[in-house]
Structures are given as C-alpha cells and as structure tokens.
Structure 1
C-alpha cells in the first residue's frame, strides 16, 4: 500500500475533465496501462479482451457523472468530428507538399546542389526516412494520449522525454544511412566522377545534422500538439500524422540546404569529420536515455526493419519516377501530392485502428473508411485549383486530365485505406504493435503504386489522343519518329 500512497500526488489530470483530488487511475486503468506499455516488439500475451456486448452494456449503464470519463477513453467515430478535425490538417499537409515541391525545384539551381549532385539523390531518401519516423512518433504518442497515459505528470514527462530521445537516436542513425546510401548511389550513377573521403563525410554529416535538428523541432511540436489535442478533447489520430508529414518535409529541406551551404565552404577541411564524430557520439547518449526509460526501453532495438524496408521499396518508386519524369509533363509536380494525400489518409485510418485495438474498443470501419475516402475529393480539388490558377507544370488542363487524375487519386486512396486496415489488424494479431510497424510499409507501398498508376494514366491519355502529356523534348522526338515512318 505504501507505493500507492506515495504516488497519489504525482498524477496530474491533463484532459478537460480535471480530477480535483488529483487521484491516480483506479486499479482497472492501471491494469490496462501495464498491459499496453511498454509498447515494444511484442505485445503482452495476457491482454484482456472485453466482448462488444460487455462494452455496450457498460456504456448503457453510465451515469451522467461517468459520461465525461467515458469520453476520455473511447475514440470518437462520428463522421462530422472526423471531417472537422482531419480536413484542415489535410489541407495544411497539401500546402506543405506544394511548398516542399517548390523548394526542391528552387534548390536545383543553387550552386551547392550543382557542385554536389548527390544531394538530389539524398533528398528523397532522407525525406522518406524522416517522414516515417515522425509519423510513427505521431501515431504512437496519439495512442498514449487516447489511452490516458498523458493525463498524469510522471508518466507524461517520461513518455515525452523518452519519445524525443528515441526520435534522436532514430534520426541520427537514419541520417547516417541516408547520407552513405546517397553517396554510394552517386558513385554508381556517375562512375566517371571524382569522389573523395571529404565528400562522403560531407554528405553524411549534412544528412545527420539536418535529420537531428529537424527531429528535435518536429518532435517538440508533435508532442505539444498532441498534448493540446488531449486537453481540448480532440482526437490526435485525426490530425497528427498529416501535420507530421507536411511540416517534416519543409523543415528537413530547409535545414539540409542550410547545412550543405555552410559545410561546403569547408569540405576539404576536417570540420565535417569533427561534426560527424560529434553527431555520432550523441547516438549512445540518447540511447542511454531511452534505455533508462521503462516505457520505451524495448523500442530501442525494434522498428528498424520496416524503416529500412520502406526505404528500399520507395527507391523503386524513385526508379520509375526518374525514368518517366522527363517523358511526361507534370509527373514531378503531381506524384508527391497524389501519394502524399493518399498516404496521409491511410495513416489517419491506421492510427485510429491502432488506438482502438490498444483500448479494446470498436472502430466503425465502414463509416470511417467512407468519410476518409470521400475526404480525398475536396483536398485534390483544392490542389488542382491551385496548380491551374498558377499555371504550374505546363499542363494541358482539359476534362480528361482532371477526370483521370481524380480517378487515380481515388483508386490510390481506396487501396491505401484497405492496406492500412489489413496491415494494422494483421500486425496486431501477430503480436506486434501496429504503431511501430504499419506506417513505413503503408507509405512505401503507396509510393510505388501511385507512381506506377500515374505513369500508366499519362501514357493512356497520350496514346489515345485525349490529352498530350508528353514533355516538350519528348514531343519533338515523337514527331521525328512519326515523320520517319
């Protein structure tokens, strides 16, 4: 009994239904939290599963004073709540995707990128790795919020510090992997180029610094956002993943460009080596912080497989994109938004299902899938209006272009929602925490699928004469071929 007395005043209610006595959760809530956390490689085999009849009976027996307590533990499934909470974040993520595309287009003319073309190889690899890390954090922390673990001071502080430290470990390792991979790919694609030790360290150092600093900024932002959502009774599952994806790309791009410019002036010196060693020494430091955290200790050595596999799978999309980006107009402009919006919708769905599985509550799959599927239409409509209004991509905006693009986006969204549902439930049944495994595989799969579908659509439009999607250089080649025939 002594531990219960000593921890009584350590619990601080964060939700809007404040507990004036500052009491710890009852024994039932403690049991649920112990079963759910630490959420590591394997879930506890003794997870208590209530039948749906028992949940419905318990909900019907709630007294008025218990109603607020129920709201803190059951995921909101009303369509209007989902729309009001998710649509603004999806619009913001759309703007973020467009801004990221504009930045990438601007960077290709910078002197630092012209002198070091490997930086362009680094960009998609680093953005993919970093995006997955931040979305995993958003999904995992959203589950913690909906489970009520963030309502109590010691647990909240432990989870915030542990998640930020874990994100630094993952970002530093992922940054090193991305830097070395981009340098190696640069040697393969440009065998005649002269590369040196200094250039390899320069690439790796720039990647690690930008990944670490962007993770620090975005990690604090996401934790604060989810805590605010919890306080105002907003389900963070509906908004966290899209915002993590959108802001992550922009911040990482800006930091990478800044680091590359600063370090390029000292490329032939030992400055990059010194910075690299400093960043490398931070890995065991942050790793020790995570190791001492009982809630996240197990996550230090798990979750790397989906991140690495996602990088490999996404590279296939990069190969397809590289082959057709100069053949068809608008591929570079449309692909990131097409796969980005579908991936965000699928991530919202997967995050919601994961929370329900941890809470042992029921998700209305049909209703949520329908709402998320239809939500893709206004988001894509806003995107098409923006690129049409600013005449971006030098596209021929006719009926067939709009129709086929919307159709492909709906197909991608439908498939992404289904894959997200099957993966989340599948990993849960196999004993793995979906928060740490689903999103990397989901986003990587939709990267390949969306890119292939868009290229096929553009090919059909061009071959049928409905819309000439050929790039200007390719159009001249086609004309010469037809003349020779």
Structure 2
C-alpha cells in the first residue's frame, strides 16, 4: 500500500495511461522509419541521393510548422468560448498557411540537398532536379495528409473525452515522420527514372498551389503566429548541420540511421506532451502540476526506450549489455534535458509575454536532434571500442 501511495504521488496515472498507447504507436512508426533509412543507406542505387540529410531537414523544418499548427488547433478546440464554425474557419485558413510554408520548405530542402551533392562533386543536372522534385512533392503531399489527419484526430479525441494533449503531438508527429520518409524514398526511386522535362512540370504543378494558399491566408481574420526569421535561421542551421553529420556517420555506422528516428523522434514526442500541457494551461488559464507531469514523462520515457530495445533485439543483432545500458541512460538524459529546456523557455517567455509554442517548439526540436546525433556518435565510438 505504501508503495502504491508513493507511485500515486510521483506519477499522473491519467497522463501515463493516455500517453502510453499513442507513444507506442509512435514507437512502431519510428522503428519502421529507422529501418527504411537503414535500407536506403545499404542500397547502392540510392546512396548518391542525400536521403538522410533531406529526411532530417524535412522532419525538422516541416515538422515544426505542422506541430505548431497542431498545438494551436488542439488548444482552440478545448476552448469553450470558441464556436465550432469559427474553429472550422481557423482550420481551413491556417491549413492553407501551413501548406504554403510546407511548399516553401520543400524548395529550401531541395536546394540544401543540391548544395550537398555539388559539394561532394555531383553535377548531374537530372539528379539535382530529382532531389528538388522529391523534396517539394513530399512536403506538399504529406502536409495535406497531415492536415486531414489532425482534424480527424482532434474530433476523435473530443468524442472520446480524451485529452488531445496526450494523443495528438506524439501520434501525429511520428506518423508524419513516417509518411515523410516513406514518400521521400518512394518519390526518389520513382522520379529518378523521369526526364528533366517531366520533373520540371511536376515542380511547376506544386508551385501553382501557392497563389490559392496566399489568397485564403490574406483573407483570413485569425492567423496563427509565424516563427521569426532569427528562430528559423537558428533551428535550420542546427538541423542542417545535424543532418549533414548524420549523413556522414551512417556510411560507417548503419545502426545510427535506424536508431536516430527513434532516439530523436521519441524523445521530442515525449517532451512535446509536456510543452503542449504547459501551452494549453497558459492559453486557457488552467492549472497544471508541472512537477507531476515531469516525473510521469521520465517514467514513460524509461518504459518506452526499454520497450524499443526489446523490439529491436528481436529484429536486429544482439548488442552488449553495456551498450543497452548506455543507450537507455543517454535517452533518459536527453528527455530530462528537453523537459528542463521547456520549463526554462516557458518561464522566460511568460516573463516577457512571449509566445511559448511558437518559440519553444522549433528550439526543442533542433536541440533534440543535435543531442541525439551527439549521443549516437558517443555510442558508435563506444561500440567500436
């Protein structure tokens, strides 16, 4: 009885029970995503394409925009003062804004991929055009899917009387990651057989969507905030640097390609639950026991990473006990770091009336990626020794 009482004091069982199923779904999605990237690294015909660099940039650049949209949409749906008609208008108008940003991001990532290829001595015009096309088409299609799934998920959460804070960000975040990587690989393999003329028409078709998005965005009366140029520049540089290191590391250590989506994605998904709770609490002026949520999410992170190790040991080669112990410790350390970062940002931004969601989300994602890359580099060196 004493042990049960202690557990009740240390853990929010509602949060644990509601977040665990969605995180398990996320875990399976990220596990499959990792295997997809590992297969790409080992496939000779795909090695000339900067898939890992593109993947990392897509997951960060596009992921931030989508999750920010989810953050505001979920918070608005929980606000009883907002009518359903106004909510639907917000969904549509800001969905166009997200799509517009995603198309722009697709072009940016394509240019980053082209720059990387040129730096390693690849000047083939068709290959460079393929890189731009795959990035643009992947970002456009997966964002449209994300917007639809987000709306359905929020409505399902409302109908089931489940807090969307514990479901939306972890589930949709990893699902979007999986779809982005899957489509990127499929489109790369598909478009590499096309002529430059067809690729150019495909790019033009995606760009034709932009005027329609701009029209609806300009006509909107309630738009969600857009991240500042300084925040975007900071996070883009960090993510691009992390993606480039990841791209280089995966050549020698294939396990890094499969582990990174889980190591980074799962830690960030867990931390986003914390961010979402703080954001909803501040936006709707409700109480939130941050200490209890913090301890619960640390326990959750331990359970999730142990479950991942059990799954990966079934499908992958067995590794040493020391490796698994460090794998778990590094992961929990990363989650603790991200949760503390969110706390610091929330306190700082509240003092200066800053927007917690729009500033914290990209910073947490970028820091999570760099931390994951650094910790996996340490694990790779330990594995060698």
Give the stretch that moved more between structures: 406-415 or 324-333.
324-333
- Residue of 358, 364, 375 corresponding to 1:442: 364
Q: Which is bigger in relative contact order (C-alpha 8 A, separation at least 6)?
A: 2
With over 3 angstroms needed to count, the CA separation of the structure-2 counterparts of 1:174 and 1:376, relative to structure 1, is same
After TM superposition, the structure 1 = structure 2 runs for residues 399-438 of structure 1, keeping only pairs within 5 Å, are 400-438=322-360
What is the aligned-residue RMSD (CA, Å)?
A: 2.4
Task: Report what 2:124 is aligned to.
Answer: 195
Name the CA shift for 1:449/1:260 in 2 (closer, same or farther; >3 Å): closer
Distance of aligned partners of 1:134 and 1:408 in 2 relative to their CA distance in 1, 3 Å threshold:
same
Q: CA offsets, 1:122-147, max 9 Å, x none?
A: 22222222222222222121111222
Partner of 2:13: 80
Within-5 A mapping of 1:13-412: 79-108=12-41, 113-114=46-47, 116-148=48-80, 152-188=83-119, 190-191=120-121, 193-196=122-125, 198-268=126-196, 270-296=197-223, 299=225, 302-303=227-228, 305-322=230-247, 324-325=249-250, 330-390=255-315, 392=316, 394-398=317-321, 400-412=322-334
Please give the alpha-carbon distance, in whole angstroms, between the structure 1 residues aligned to 2:230 and 2:176.
Answer: 21
1:70 equivalent in structure 2 = none
Corresponding pairs, count:
376
Kindly provide the CA deviation profile for residues 16-53 of structure 1, in whole angstroms up to 9, marking residues without a partner as x.
xxxxxxxxxxxxxxxxxxxxxxxxxxxxxxxxxxxxxx
For the residue of structure 1 that corresponds to 2:220, the secondary structure is coil
Q: Mind listing any 5+ residue stretches in structure 1 that lack a counterpart?
A: 1-76, 463-468, 476-485
Bigger-Rg structure (1/2):
1
Query: Measured at CA, do residues 284 and 308 of structure 1 come closer, stay the same or move farther in structure 2, by a change above 3 Å?
Result: farther
Distance 1:215 1:330, change over 3 A: same
3-state SS of 2:208 partner: helix
After the TM superposition, which of the residue ranges 441-450 and 250-259 deviates more from structure 2?
250-259
Report the Cα distance in structure 2 between the residues aligned to 1:451 and 1:118, rounded to whole angstroms: 17
CA separation of 1:427 and 1:313: change in aligned 2, threshold 3 A? same
Structure 1 residues 84-93 or 433-442, which shifts more?
433-442
TM-score w.r.t. structure 2 length?
0.89
Quote the Cα distance in structure 2 between the aligned partners of 1:202 and 1:343. 30
Deviation at 1:266, TM superposition (A): 2.2
Q: Partners of 2:369 and 2:98 in 1: how far apart? A: 23
How far off is 1:184 after superposition? 0.8
**Equivalent residue number for residue 479 of structure 1:** none
In structure 2, stretches of 5+ residues that fail to align are 1-9
Q: Look up the SS of the partner of 2:287 in the other structure.
A: coil
More moved, 314-323 vs 221-230: 314-323
